Structure 1
Amino acid sequence: MNNSQWKLKLTLLLVSSLTIMSVITISPAIPQMAEAFKEVKNAAFLVKLVLTLPALMIAICSPITGRFIDRYGRLKILWVSLVLYAGAGASGFFLHNLYYLLISRALLGIAVGMSMPIVITLIADYFEGQERQKFVGIQIAFMSLGGILFIGLGGILADLGWRYPFLLYLFSLVVLPLSILFLYEPVVVAKDHQAKSLVKSPGLIWLLFLNTMFLWIIFFLIPVQIPFYLRAMGIDKNALAGAAIAISTAFSAVSSFSFAKIKDRFSALFIFSMGYLLMAGGFALLSIASTYVLVLLAMMLTGLGMGMMIPNTNMWVMKIAPAEIRGKEIGKLTTFWFLGQFLSPVIIYPVLNILSLPATFMLAASLLFLLSIGFLLPLLSRTSKTTPGLPAR
């Protein structure tokens, strides 16, 4: 790898890390925020929206960004998003009104809704074949490792005060000059756009989008609910809550980093089946956990499962989305990704009014197990070979 290629790849990885930190960095501070704003009506619910509102705005803005980058290019929009990310993210340190804080989080979501489709599209633009497959796995692993770092720092800073984790969002100002120096506008942007309205992706892509949304609805129970779950167990240190979530992210990095080797040996459907099975085991264990050690073991299993399914989805979408509309399709993928994150507490909130949190975890485990079986059945019946757009490996 030459020097410029190394710098380009590192810059892409750093931009990718901003995506995961946008949501989970402040997770360990959520219980403290709930206490700080307890006088506000519906504070318990609104504080959880502080965590997940960026996901809604990412979901809304990503398809718009996808269309714009197909027409006008990638990099200028990326640079604007990095500046907005720093301003909107760090403003939480200074705001004392919960509703103003929600507005700042919405702006943060807009920034990520601009940057994430761009970085995934640039990966598809810059790399092909085996190199792309390998880098997609490394990208998700790096995002996970970045998540470990930032949520760990978030937990430490939250013990100083719930506002301090918001300062971590200034990291995008470090990434900005690197993106200006080392990324380049891909040639594909200069192609003729007149025939793009006639280009379509296979219908299979919508199943991938919906699967991504469900995956995040379930997985996002972890950063939203684990701090409260641990407090109910008598573990009230924010740093320990951050460490538990970071363990899940760490093992997600392990399986993501190994994705290229996994994909060489197994089909896309089998990877989904095994990923859901690992997550099912993690949530089942979480539902009966009575010690911090068991919670950590559950986090390991869920992370391993999640870490192989994200690059599996990204690779599949990159493979079947035509280059002419790649930005638009990746924008849709990002929409469903973050729509799932936003919907998670919205859907789970009424469930928790009926079921206890351990029972909710067991319900999630049951649904994940059914999905694991569902992805395995086509392989057992040997129909996957005739599915349009379905890669055998």
Structure 2
Amino acid sequence: MTVPTSPARPVPGITRVTLLLTATLTIMSGATIAPSLPAMQAHFSGLPNADVLVRLTVTVVGLAIAISAPLSGYLTDRSGRRPVLVVAMLLYALAGSSGLYAPNLWTLMLGRVLLGLAVGATMTAGSALVADLFAGQERARFLGLQSAFTSLGGVIFLPLGGLLASVGWRAPFAVYLAALLIVPLALRLPRGETAGERTAQTAAERIPWRPVALAYAVALAYMLVFYLMPTQLPYRLEGLGVAPAQVGFVMGISTLSGALAALWFSRRGGTRAPVLTAGFSLLALAVGWTVVSRATGAGGVVPGLIIGGAGAGLVTPNLNTFLAALAPAHARGRVMSGLSASIFLGQFLSPLLAQPFVHGADVSHAFAAAAVFATLVGVGLLVLGWGLTARRVVAAD
């Protein structure tokens, strides 16, 4: 039986626009409130370990996604992409905006956990639907464009969060209500692949777990490093004398650079060497974070954000394209949910692993340590990628 959302059929423009707008919600999940972290920490300064707990309001979202992603993937494969996506977006608006009225830090943390459930389901269903609707280079181009929109969401919402943070630390939470504007469009999306629409032959296809696991590991390593941007960079900029209202604009430089890199990936229609691409991306991120760690003024941070952002912008579309090609149609939700879990587990762990390198208000050593780690992972991926290329050449001969 032919799946109704076969990649052979043309994809309507409204479907493309809806999927791209949905992608902007991903970076909003944590980055929108990043500029208000110092003010939030001051508000809750009476609580023990307030500095770590406030940072966790950004990254607990990642833990919730990592835990719930397998369930999101299962539901996406069983019920179809659209139903999961619509429910997730409604929960996104409700839970994301909870910071507007949460009476204490623990209630706010609960809202962030529920937001994590919504983000994981949104990412999983959206990515699986893209894999259903597109194929080949067209899929790679759209995934690159989708990743660019994710970064462009940061270009918009980070400065907006910074401006609202100057009003009060609660104000940026209102941005999450924007998800309600996309719900009417999401209701018009195709349902997507479901268990009842598989052929026996398709259902018998196995998931190639070894390369899939490699992609998950790369995603985890990448996010451990990259997520210093929303969780530690506001403190780095504050130490360099940047006003809270300007923090979002400076951080937006990184996401703009990532958007441009993703657009480049989209125009090329992907890459034939995904492992090498991942290695070079991690090395670019390492260079960027080295510059950030050594900057003596706000202007010195900018080149690092441009270089690091460009490297980060290539990772997600590269991994998404790689996994979309590997995953059997009946298991796309589960495979893509694993990528979401890896990315957001990295988000949760990033500030915890960085904490030993934070000395009071000085977070420069955290960026330096992350740069060393990214260098080691990047070099390892280059060695592996060159080895795979050499094997293919020998096999061809």
TM normalised by structure 1 equals 0.92
Name the residue aligned to 2:222.
215
Q: For residue 132 of structure 2, what is the amino acid of its counterpart?
A: D
Q: Of residues 29, 34, 49 in structure 2, which corresponds to 1:22?
A: 29
Q: For residue 134 of structure 2, what is the amino acid of its counterpart?
A: F
Name the residue aligned to 1:347.
353
Look up the SS of the partner of 1:258 in the other structure. helix
Look up the SS of the partner of 2:190 in the other structure. coil
Look up the SS of the partner of 2:220 in the other structure. helix
Report the Cα distance in structure 2 between the residues aligned to 1:164 and 1:223, rounded to whole angstroms: 17
In structure 2, do the counterparts of structure 1 residues 45 and 129 end up closer, same or farther at CA, with 3 Å as the change threshold? same
Shift of residue 378 of structure 1?
Answer: 3.5
The 5-angstrom pairing of residues 207-286 of structure 1 reads 207-235=214-242, 237-262=243-268, 267-286=273-292
Q: Of residues 68, 71, 75 in structure 1, which corresponds to 2:78?
A: 71
Conserved 8 A contact 1:249-1:303: yes
* Of 147-156 and 355-364, the range deviating more from structure 2: 355-364
Name the residue aligned to 2:117.
110
Shift of residue 260 of structure 1?
Answer: 3.2
Name the residue aligned to 1:293.
299
Q: For residue 21 of structure 1, what is the amino acid of its counterpart?
A: M
Gaps of 5+ in 2: 1-8
* Of 159-168 and 89-98, the range deviating more from structure 2: 89-98
Name the residue aligned to 2:53.
46
Report the Cα distance in structure 2 between the residues aligned to 1:142 and 1:26, rounded to whole angstroms: 19
Conserved 8 A contact 1:285-1:294: yes
Shift of residue 296 of structure 1?
Answer: 1.2
Q: Residues 66-112 of structure 1, C-alpha deviation per residue, up to 9 Å, x if partnerless?
A: 01111121212211111111111112111120110000111111111
Report the Cα distance in structure 1 between the residues aligned to 2:317 and 2:122, rounded to whole angstroms: 18
Report the Cα distance in structure 1 between the residues aligned to 2:218 and 2:369, rounded to whole angstroms: 18
Report the Cα distance in structure 2 between the residues aligned to 1:87 and 1:361, rounded to whole angstroms: 34
Q: Percent identity?
A: 35
Conserved 8 A contact 2:140-2:270: no
Conserved 8 A contact 1:26-1:51: yes
- Over the aligned positions, Cα root-mean-square deviation in angstroms equals 2.3
Name the residue aligned to 1:163.
170
Name the residue aligned to 1:319.
325
Q: Of residues 302, 306, 312 in structure 1, which corresponds to 2:312?
A: 306
Report the Cα distance in structure 2 between the residues aligned to 1:199 and 1:52, rounded to whole angstroms: 33
In the alignment, does 2:368 pair up with 1:368? no
Look up the SS of the partner of 1:199 in the other structure. coil
Q: For residue 256 of structure 1, what is the amino acid of its counterpart?
A: A
Shift of residue 359 of structure 1?
Answer: 2.4
* Of 147-156 and 369-378, the range deviating more from structure 2: 369-378
TM normalised by structure 2 equals 0.91
Conserved 8 A contact 1:378-1:384: no
Report the Cα distance in structure 1 between the residues aligned to 2:269 and 2:354, rounded to whole angstroms: 33
Shift of residue 199 of structure 1?
Answer: 2.7
Conserved 8 A contact 1:71-1:193: no
Conserved 8 A contact 1:201-1:322: no
Name the residue aligned to 1:139.
146
Gaps of 5+ in 1: none
Q: Residues 130-161 of structure 1, C-alpha deviation per residue, up to 9 Å, x if partnerless?
A: 11010000000001001110111100000011
Shift of residue 250 of structure 1?
Answer: 0.3
In structure 2, do the counterparts of structure 1 residues 6 and 189 end up closer, same or farther at CA, with 3 Å as the change threshold? farther
Conserved 8 A contact 1:125-1:188: no
In the alignment, does 2:69 pair up with 1:91? no
Q: For residue 102 of structure 1, what is the amino acid of its counterpart?
A: M
Conserved 8 A contact 2:70-2:338: yes
Conserved 8 A contact 2:65-2:119: yes
Conserved 8 A contact 1:60-1:113: no
Report the Cα distance in structure 2 between the residues aligned to 1:191 and 1:133, rounded to whole angstroms: 24
Shift of residue 263 of structure 1?
Answer: 5.7
Report the Cα distance in structure 1 between the residues aligned to 2:361 and 2:171, rounded to whole angstroms: 34
In structure 2, do the counterparts of structure 1 residues 151 and 283 end up closer, same or farther at CA, with 3 Å as the change threshold? same
Report the Cα distance in structure 2 between the residues aligned to 1:230 and 1:281, rounded to whole angstroms: 18
Name the residue aligned to 2:17.
10
Report the Cα distance in structure 2 between the residues aligned to 1:128 and 1:26, rounded to whole angstroms: 36
